Amino acid sequence: MIGRRGFLKFFGSSIVGLMTLGGYAFGYEPVVRLSIARYQLTPPGWTPGLKLRIVALADFHACTPWMTADRIASICARANDLGGDIIVLLGDYTSGTDFVTGHVDHRVWAAELAALKAPLGVHAIVGNHDWWHDATAQKRGAGPTFSHKALADVGIPVYSNRSARLEKDGYGFWLAGVEDQLALRRSVRWKRQFTTGLDDLSGTLAQVNDVAPVILLAHEPDIFPTVPSRVSLTLSGHTHGGQVRVFGWSPYLPSRYGDRYVYGHIVEENRHIIVSGGLGCSVAPVRVGVPPEIVVIDLG
């Protein structure tokens, strides 16, 4: 039987352990750590000879104290140093948690993102929180949201069910971006019974008019089962890799497919998707086992 001294020692060490874990989960991993997740692949339909480096940033969730303007600036500086041919932003620039000391204005975070530079430019989509926190867009059931406007105002094109043809070293490829799949929130106030998406995958891909490979930007990875093989690679965020992940298990996964598309490079029926672990926090300002990350993808 454990004695009083032994119990108190065990209890004390447990409290210290919990405090240490809590400090790490709330104060270190979300706001200090920054990892680089690297992938290298040649997906189906990729043009021989075309080598492309993509730097992808997802889920900033700007707010204080977890994702300040200074923190965004430092992430952008690191992204610029990674040698990307193109930089893509995968949505959710606004705060995703109520546990904040303040909000970072959309004009402020957009100004920091304007520092991103790449030879083939910076290209963006928006996410569900960009829609959900814009009451005007929710009321009218249509965009643009303040995130659309803020990005456009600093010269970053936003893809809302749009495809554009780009070229590197004489080789063409398409960048396609769908509007958010959860854009219009279920609301008694707005007389909306169900959360509704504004994504139009077929209409977006109908704009592709040659055989060059297609890279699809879609904030939520749940679209992936419907993505045709014509798309060489899908890039998504939204899940934060589970945000808390212990021995491969996460207590909460914001996907109707559970763990299927939670993180990383997934291949199904010779179709490829890479899901970023993201940079910020949603629901609760905590990260364990899924540090904020910048994604670097070398294609070809």
pTM: 0.90
pLDDT per residue as tens digits for the range 167-177: 999 999 999 99
Reported confidence tier of residue 27, pLDDT bands at 50, 70, 90: low
pLDDT of residue 251: 85
Reported confidence tier of residue 162, pLDDT bands at 50, 70, 90: very high
Task: Enumerate the domain spans of the chain.
Answer: 1-30, 35-299
pLDDT per residue as tens digits for the range 40-81: 999 999 999 999 999 999 999 999 999 999 999 999 999 999
Region 243-259: mean pLDDT is 89
Query: What is the architecture of the domain spanning 35-299?
Result: 4-Layer Sandwich (3.60)
Longest Cα–Cα distance in the chain: 77
The Cβ of residue 74 has, within 10 Å, a number of other Cβ atoms equal to 13
pLDDT of residue 98: 87
C-alpha span between 75 and 98 (Å, rounded): 23
> Average per-residue pLDDT in the chain?
90
pLDDT per residue as tens digits for the range 120-131: 999 999 999 999
Q: 3-state secondary structure string, the chain?
A: CCCHHHHHHHHHHHHHHHHHHHHHHHHHCCCCCCEEEEEEECCCCCCCCCCEEEEEECCCCEEECCECHHHHHHHHHHHHCCCCCEEEECCCCECEECCCCEECCHHHHHHHHCCCCCCCCEEECCCHHHHHCCHHHHHHCCCCCHHHHHHHHCCCCECCCEEEEEEECCEEEEEEECCCCCCECCECCCCECCCECCCCHHHHHCCCCCCCCEEEECCCHHHHHHCCCCEEEEEECCCHHHCECECCECCCCCCCCCCCCCCEEEEECCEEEEECCCCCCEECCCCECCCCEEEEEEEC
With a pLDDT cut of 70, the percent of the chain lying above it is 89
Write down the residue that tokens 């990005």 correspond to: 151
pLDDT per residue as tens digits for the range 82-121: 999 999 999 999 998 889 999 999 999 999 999 999 999 9
pLDDT of residue 140: 95
